[in-house]
Amino acid sequence: MASVGNSIGQAAIWLQKGYPVAIPTETVYGLAANACDLDALIRVFEAKKRPLFDPLIVHLPSVTTIARYAKDIPPLAFALWERYSPGPLTLVLRKSTLLPDLVSSGLPTAGFRIPAHPMALDLLNSVDFPLAAPSANLFGRVSPTTATHVVDQLGDAIPYVLDGGPCIVGLESTILDLSGPEPILLREGGIPSQHIEDDLKITLQRPHHAYRVHEETAPSAGTLDNHYATTVPLICYRNNEELELLLRKESLWEAGQRTLPNARFPSNEPTLGMLRFQSDIPNKFLEVWDETKFGIRRIVEILSPTGDMKEAARNLFAAMRALERVSPLILAEMAPDHGLGTAINDRLQRASFKGDQP
Ligand code: TXA
Ligand code: MG
């Protein structure tokens, strides 16, 4: 079982020995390993049950160190680092021969990031190799934003979790591919892409499936369907009209009513989980709920009572995890579609249930 602590020295020792260690970053917890040690990298893929075709992000403490592991770095990269680093931004660049092919799943490029969490930076400065770190969750599942989340999924597979408290951003980094002629947005994240475009006066390509743009670009798993999935079906809706349509579905209530002999759920009471952006469902729906659907408990997670997008982003993954533990079905309200709301909605849609709707 992993031990949890706040010793940078302890974390560094495990990393030097070739073992993966979970580390805090400002976005989500990462499962870090020496990016130049093949055995250590294999252990990361194994612990996460992650397919080898999904490339890892390489974390370094400074632009100077990145310049050793990347090549042909375009001027735009320096401008972006100047503005946003350290921080929740990953740049895909051509990689130098110092990085093994396994890190990038055989691609000629790698993702590079300078994380802003002080403990991550301390650790990066105390070892003499880059840290490859995917999010510290099982492949396809919701990313961890506390040390406890990591232990829940990977506790048996890794020796040490460096506890740096809850992550303050709560969403993964924004990923830009700068390895081709035009900058491409591969993943919305902690820095809204719209802000980047406004700040730097650039236009990002936003192909629907970014990875199909040029052949040698990786399938960015964060852009695959069914990524960030909850363990129970999650259905998103945009507004009260869509909520009303959902609430009128008899099959939805049947799903909520399903007896839950499953040990995962603490109570056998019929339950529906509601993920809400700012407030509980409107009064008129509360009445419907109480009058006609009597007997189904509603468990509500509100992301930000004041409607603050940063707070909502910070709480998103913890709320998804909390609801999947208590309800066989989650109805999730989408955030306003601007700023960080775009990244929140991206995660909700990718997490959402793709099979036949209940
Ligand atoms: O905030 C974050 O980025 C966190 C923290 C730990 O730094 N890390 C993270 O890693 O979210 P991960 O592995 O869960 O997601 C990284 C994404 C994957 O979807 C991967 O496919 C994409 O980055 N990626 C990595 N290298 C790439 C490359 N060379 N080309 C295209 N996509 C790449
Ligand atoms: Mg991930």
What tens digit of pLDDT does each residue of 37-73 get? 999 999 999 999 998 888 999 999 999 999 999 999 9
* Ligand 1 neighbour 26 (Cβ under 6 A): no
Closest-CA residue to 217 (of 177, 254, 174, 163): 177
146 burial (CB, 10 Å; 0-12 / 13-18 / 19+) is buried
CB within 8 Å of 357: residues ≥ 6 apart: 235, 249, 251
All domains of the chain in start order, with CATH: 3-200 (3.90.870.10), 234-351 (3.40.50)
* Greater model confidence, 147 or 291: 147
Question: Which atom of ligand 1 lies nearest, measured to the CA of 95?
Answer: 29
- Residue with tokens 């099979």, as numbered in its chain: 355
Q: Output phi, psi for 197, to 5 deg.
A: -65, -40
Percent of the chain with pLDDT over 90: 75
**Residue type present at position 93:** L
Looking at residue 288, its pLDDT comes to 74
Question: Which atom of ligand 1 lies nearest, measured to the CA of 219?
Answer: 21
Residue whose CB lies within 8 A of the most ligand 1 atoms, among 123, 167, 220, for a mutation test: 220
Q: Output phi, psi for 299, to 5 deg.
A: -110, 120
DSSP assignments along 148-172, one per residue = HHHHHHHTTT-SEEE---S-SS-SP
* Ligand 1 neighbour 186 (Cβ under 6 A): yes
Q: Counting ligands in written order, which one lies closest to the CA of residue 216?
A: 1
- Residues paired with 75 in a beta bridge: none
**Nearest-angstrom CA–CA distance, 145 and 27:** 8
Report residue 115 as tokens.
């994380």
Looking at residue 291, its pLDDT comes to 67
* Ligand 1 neighbour 30 (Cβ under 6 A): yes
Question: What separation in Å is there between the alpha carbon of 9 and the centre of ligand 2?
Answer: 26
* Ligand 1 neighbour 345 (Cβ under 6 A): no
- Give the mean pLDDT of 140-157: 97
* Ligand 1 neighbour 196 (Cβ under 6 A): no
* Ligand 1 neighbour 34 (Cβ under 6 A): no
Q: Counting ligands in written order, which one lies closest to the CA of residue 187?
A: 1
* Ligand 1 neighbour 28 (Cβ under 6 A): yes
124-133, 171-180, 296-305: least confidently modelled range: 296-305
Alpha helices (H) in the chain, listed in sequence order: 8-16, 38-48, 63-69, 75-84, 118-126, 147-154, 193-200, 240-247, 250-257, 283-292, 309-326, 340-351
pLDDT at 333 over 70: yes
* Ligand 1 neighbour 131 (Cβ under 6 A): no
Looking at residue 249, its pLDDT comes to 81
Looking at residue 276, its pLDDT comes to 97
Local structure of 141: helix, strand or coil: strand
170-179, 255-264, 304-313, 349-358: least confidently modelled range: 255-264
Q: Whose CA is nearest to atom 6 of ligand 1?
A: 30
**Nearest-angstrom CA–CA distance, 95 and 79:** 19
What pTM was computed for the model?
A: 0.91
